[in-house]
Amino acid sequence: MKNIVILISGGGSNMAAIVRTAQRDSWAKTLGARVAAVISNKADAKGLIFAREQGIATEVLDHTAFASREEFDTALAQLIDRFDQSSEPVLVVLAGFMRILTPGFVNRYAGRLVNIHPSLLPAFTGLQTHQRAIDAGCQFAGVTVHQVTAELDHGLILAQGVVPVLHGDTADALAARVLSQEHLIYPRAIAELLQHL
């Protein structure tokens, strides 16, 4: 069975969309894959509640308990690798995970580490993407699923979704419109990737 480990920091709605799609489309049968664990760097991440309700293994790894990014990432890799029977898990999925990962971590999971970023990359890497798109006068915004590399938000683009920016949009309104697109394209992009792994 190909194991999927999902990393979250907050609401976890993308994680929930992936879990629901895996159930609905019987990924265990059709793709030989399952969501093995959900790991959060924040103990109060709402997404942990949904994951527990689904009977998925959950773990919390508080980054503030570590002296350096390298030490946090080493502990995170150990935790991830625990959820794999034989070697390393097939796929590590960042879903609203808010810690930048070190090159050592990224290289360990090269080709098996993906992220969803709430902008049309290469535009608006980093944070506050929705307000920046509004401020720039963009008429369209969107979301990108990409491979994670050492350089932030720069890996190979796997999928994108586009939404209009409406007159008088706030960052919150745009974020909600983008998020509904995220829930459609992220599970689809992961299913596609699983077929090639």
Tell me the catalytic residues: 117
Judged by DSSP in three states, 7 sits in strand
Both tokens assigned to 59: 């773990």
Partner from ligand GAR, ligand NHR, none binding residue 179, C-beta < 5-8 Å depending on class: ligand GAR
Cβ atoms of 182 and 189 closer than 8 Å: no
Helix, strand, coil fractions of the chain, as percent rounded to 5:
40, 20, 40
Does 132 interact with ligand NHR (rule: CB under 6 A)?
no
Q: Does residue 94 bind ligand NHR (CB under 6 A)?
A: yes
Q: Kindly state the smallest distance separating residue 91's Cβ from ligand NHR, in Å.
A: 15
Q: Is there binding between residue 187 and ligand GAR (CB under 6 A)?
A: no
Contact partner at residue 113 from ligand GAR, ligand NHR, none, CB < 5 to 8 Å by partner kind = none
With CB under 5 to 8 Å by kind, the binding choice for 182 among ligand GAR, ligand NHR, none is ligand GAR
Which of 97, 109, 124, 186 is close enough to bind ligand NHR by CB under 6 A? 97
114 vs 58: CA distance, rounded Å:
19
Of 68-97, binders to ligand GAR (CB under 6 A) are 95-96
Tokens of 96: 């609203």
Specify the stretch interacting with ligand GAR by CB under 6 A; choose among 4-12, 65-73, 105-113, 156-164.
Answer: 4-12
Residues 6+ apart with CB under 8 A from 8: 15, 38, 39, 40, 45, 47, 48, 95, 96, 97
What is the C-alpha separation between 32 and 2, in angstroms, rounded? Answer: 6
8 binds ligand GAR (CB under 6 A): yes
The count of chain residues that interact with ligand NHR, using the rule CB under 6 A, is: 15
Preceding peptide of 122 cis, ω within 30°: yes
How far is it, in rounded angstroms, from Cα 31 to Cα 33?
Answer: 5
What does the per-residue mask of binding to ligand NHR show for 41-80, with x meaning CB under 6 A?
A: ----------------------------------------
Give me the residues that bind ligand GAR (CB under 6 A), please.
8, 10-14, 47, 95-96, 98, 116-118, 179, 182
